[in-house]
Structures are given as structure tokens and as C-alpha cells.
Structure 1
Amino acid sequence: MTAPHSGTSLWLRRYHAADADAVTLVCFPHAGGSAGYFHPFSAALAPSVGVVAVQYPGRQDRYAEPCVEDLGELAEAIHRQLLTLPGPLAFFGHSMGASLAFEVARRRELCGERAPSMLFLSGRRAPDTRRAVTEAVHALDDAGLLARIKRLGGTHTQLLDDPEILGLVLPAVRGDYRAIENYRCPPGTVLRSPITVLTGSEDPLTTAEEADAWRLHTASTCTVHTFPGGHFFLDPESRAVLATVSGTLDRLGV
């Protein structure tokens, strides 16, 4: 079971203590995901890295709050929350969370805040890539949306066979899909932060070319790491992913 959280607000969850001089890794969950998804990251990286996971409205203990269905609005709210965190920050976002991390980083630069030391962008194609056929997953009926979730895999999908749990989860998933499917990155956006891309070799949502296109959005370095697996390669490849994250942060010296 996920340990109780502590932190400055409902938005930010810190599960383990970190060294006083540790970099803070802010983690952004995927569509329908919650802060607790990154509890294993926190346990593995503490105390040399302080993990803070973002909890979006509309899930778990924020179930009573409406989902934020506009990615820009969600990024702005998270950006304001992160202003309370001292010291150097790095971001890690998976799937929708990758686009959200990118948008929060963009807002930090626009308001003159220190740019993240690293953007770890996982399981998401670069925002300027466009596919010939686009999906409107958020517009599917409940059965279609459920089928989509199960097809992508990930941990605990078997829990969705419970009607009570399904009723709690689907509204957040639908709201998040609406946010990411309507998101448009401002053309020509280039950030100062270096980018580390993580992608699954069999991910139907991100090709190798789409992952590599992230390098167009940084004035610094961009490195792509490909792992075996599909969209949720983070789960079976957790050791390798964590080694990549910790090794990258060590080399940055933050």
C-alpha cells in the first residue's frame, strides 16, 4: 500500500525524506494516473533524490474535485504550486505527463524562474508531430474507453473489472484524454532545459522518429533511450529506467 503523503498542498506528494542538498524530481502521471504511481520511484531514489509526485484533481483523495480538462490550465495550476519548492528541480513525465512537464517548464522560463535541470519525457511523442489519422479517445463510450486502457496495458488494469473502481477511474481518464488530445504546443517552442527521452520499442503511441523529434524543442542536449516494451514499459523496465534517471542526474551534478 502507498505510504501516507506529506507535502505543501493537495497537489504535491512527497513519500520519502531526502538529503538537504538533493535535487527534487517532480513526477507527472499519465492520463488517469495518480501520484501514487511514482511511489516506487521515490523509494528507490531517496535520499539522494527527492521525489515529489503531482496529484491531479479528480482522482483518489481528490475525487470530489472536477478534473481539469485543459492541459494549459492544468500546467498553470501546477506551475504555481511548484513555486513553493526550493532548490534545483528536474521533471519526469510519462505519456500525458510528459507534455504537461514540458508545458510547466515552459511557464517557468516565461516567468524567469530557474529552468529544470533535466526534462525526462517518457512515452510521448514530441508536440510538433502530427499523425495522418488522429483519435478522439475522450469521445469513446465507456466500453471503448475501457478497451483502450486495457490495450495499452500497465499495472493494475485487472482492477478495472470491478464496476465500482471503474466508475471512479473512467471520468478522470476521459478528462485527461480530452486535455491531451486538444493540446497544441505553441509553434517553435524551444526550452533551455536538456531533454532525456524514454520510449518503448513497441509503443503504438510513439515511434522512434516521433520520440527523436523532441530534440527540436531544446537549445541544449537531447538523448533518447529505448527500452523493450509497449506504452507502459516503465513497469517491467523499472530497474533500467531508474538507473537511467539516477545516472543522468549524477552526471549533471545537481
Structure 2
Amino acid sequence: MNRLTTHPPGRAQGWLAAGPRRRVTPAVRLICLPYAGGGSSAYHGWQELLGDDVEVCPVELPGRQSRWREPAYTGVRQLVEALAPALAPELGVPYALFGHSMGALVSFELARELRRRAVPPPRVLFAAGGLAPTLRRTSPNIHDQPDAVVVERLRELGGLDEEILTEPELLDLLLPAIRADFAVCETYEYRPEPPLSCPIVAFAGDRDREVPPDRVAPWREQTSAGSTLHVLPGGHFFPMTARDALLGTVRATLAAGS
């Protein structure tokens, strides 16, 4: 896949959504990875709810929003190998990783890639609605299926408004990145490595048919520093519908580690 040699405006060579840089160093920098097909806007409003001690830094993946002209990555390894060196200069302060669904997988592999590059570990890894890395997916692959199949899958998951799913021009813009993101998840192969040295805080939705709590619980195997599982009300997009409860746990966890 050919990649652009220039970088869009923004922090970390465009990987962090553009925004004003803080004049005061934050107590902790929270790097946030989106779900499949999502962009940095998935974390809109988090900064106000988490307070001044936490700097929320949503990652903008290629192929969407401010980077929609760039080809999206179709494999997690290539993605984190590009993301890790761009983020490294931002990680000289205490930081944490948060990922929802596909973002949980990317956050996990990003933490392992940063470890290979001798970057200090995150204070904590938050994995929300993400299939534990050692488990196999049970749903059929759709990244290479006809548009109608992909759209129906998106409708089942509930991640896009119905008005977008029925608008051909919008779908034409969104589907390449969505297919690429599904490929990231569907082609992933877990490779054993030592457990992470940071705690893992996992979240699951009590009505999530895609990744139910028992498919989230094995995240505990990926850390030597302890893990917790919080089951919140909602389906696969419980980070949106149960946002206050989720962010309350995030805020308390980060404050306890300061």
C-alpha cells in the first residue's frame, strides 16, 4: 500500500486530532483509539468530563475525518508500527491508553510495540467492548463482502445512524475505511509475548451480543499488574450510552495512580 510522504496538520504527525496544546503539563495524557469506522469525534466531550488533570488525546486514524484522503490501514501490525514512533514524543509524561472495540485491540498492540521501542509503559490500559486478544472471532468476515452485507452488519452493530446507512454518497466516502477497520480485526493473529507490566481495566456491556462480558474477561491474561472488569448497562456501544459511569471509573483509576 502506498502511503503519503507528507503529514496532515496536528500533533504527532497528524495522528492526534488537532487542538490547542496545553500550557501546563497534564498529570496524565489519555490516548484514545476509536471503534471500527469511528474517528476522533467518538471522544467528543470527554475532556470536559474528565477534568483538567487529564489531557484527552483522540487518535485520528487514516481514512476518516481530517485524514479521509489517506488510505486506511488493513492490518494491526502495520498500523501500530506507524503509530508508535509518531506518538513516542508525546509520551514523556504519564499516559494511559483507551480503546473501544477495535480500538481496544489497537491499544493493546500499540502498548506492545511501544515496549519493543523501549518507551515507558502506560499507567493503565483501558479496554472497552474489545474481544480479548487470545479469543477467536465467532462472527463471519465481512471486510471483503458486497456493500449490502457490510451495511447490514453496521446496522446490526448500531454504530452509524440510519440516515447515514441510507445515503449512498456518504456511504461511498465511509465504506473504504470501515472495510479496512474490519480487516484489521478479522485478520488479526495473536502472537504470544510476555504480559504487559501495566494494569488492564476492561469494560463490557451487559447486553452486548457482539462481545459479551465472558469474551472480555480474558483480558486479565495480558497483564502481570492486575486487572478489573466492569460490566455496564448497554449494548456494544455502551461507552456512549453509559458514558458517565465509564468515565467515572476512568477518572477514579487515573487519580488513584497519580
Shift of 1:16: 6.0
**Counterpart of 1:235?**
240
Task: Identify which of 104, 107, 115 aligns with 1:98.
Answer: 104
2:230 maps to amino acid: H
2:133 to 121, 127, 131: 127
The 2-side partners of 1:225 and 1:122 are apart by 9
CA distance in 2, matches of 1:10, 1:17: 13
Conserved in 2, the CA contact under 8 Å of 1:126 and 1:214? yes
Aligned-pair CA distance for 1:15: 4.0
Q: What is the DSSP-based 3-state SS (H/G/I as helix, E as strand, rest coil) of the residue aligned with 1:210?
A: helix
Q: AA paired with 2:115?
A: E
**1:134 Cα offset (Å):** 4.4
Contact 2:154 2:160 in 1 (8 A): no
Show structure 2 runs of 5+ residues with no match: 1-8
Q: Does 1:7 align with 2:11?
A: yes
Query: For 2:230, what is the secondary structure of its paired residue?
Result: strand
Unaligned 5+ segments in structure 1 are none
Aligned 8 A contact 1:154 1:235 in 2: no
Report the counterpart of residue 205 of structure 1 in structure 2. 210
Counterpart position of 1:186: 191
% same residue: 36
Q: Give me the whole-angstrom Cα distance separating, in 1, the residues matched to 2:233 and 2:107.
A: 23
CA distance in 1, matches of 2:219, 2:130: 9
Checking the alignment, whether the CA contact within 8 Å between 2:111 and 2:122 is kept in structure 1 is yes
Question: Counterpart of 1:174?
Answer: 179
Counterpart residue identity of residue 7, structure 1: R
Residues 157 and 114 from structure 1, CA distance in 2 versus in 1: closer, same or farther, beyond 3 angstroms? farther
Q: Deviations over 1:112-145 (max 9, x none)?
A: 21000000001111111125x4411212211111
Separation in structure 1 between the aligned mates of residue 238 and residue 199 of structure 2, nearest angstrom: 22
Secondary structure, aligned partner of 2:44: helix
Bigger shift: 96-105 or 177-186? Answer: 177-186
TM-score w.r.t. structure 1 length?
0.92
Does the 8 Å CA contact 1:199/1:206 hold for their aligned counterparts? yes
Amino acid at match of 1:38: Y
1:69-123 CA-to-partner distances (Å, cap 9, x unmatched) read 1110001111111111030110000011000000010011122210000000011
Contact 2:207 2:233 in 1 (8 A): yes
Q: Report the equivalent of 2:94.
A: 88
3-state SS in 2 of match to 1:84: helix
Post-superposition offset of 1:65 = 1.0
Identify if the C-alpha distance between structure 1 residues 218 and 59 changes in structure 2 by more than 3 Å, giving closer, same or farther: same
Q: Give the partner amino acid of 1:104.
A: L
Partner of 2:152: 147
Separation (CA, whole Å) in 1 of partners of 2:157 and 2:233:
14
- Residues paired across the two proteins, number: 248
State the distance in 2 between where 1:155 and 1:52 align: 23
The 2-side partners of 1:46 and 1:142 are apart by 41
Shift of 1:43: 2.9
Q: Is residue 13–residue 53 contact of structure 1 (8 Å, CA) maintained in 2?
A: yes
* Deviation readout 1:51-73 (Å, 9 max, x if unpaired): 11111111122111111111100
The amino acid across from 2:239 in the alignment is L
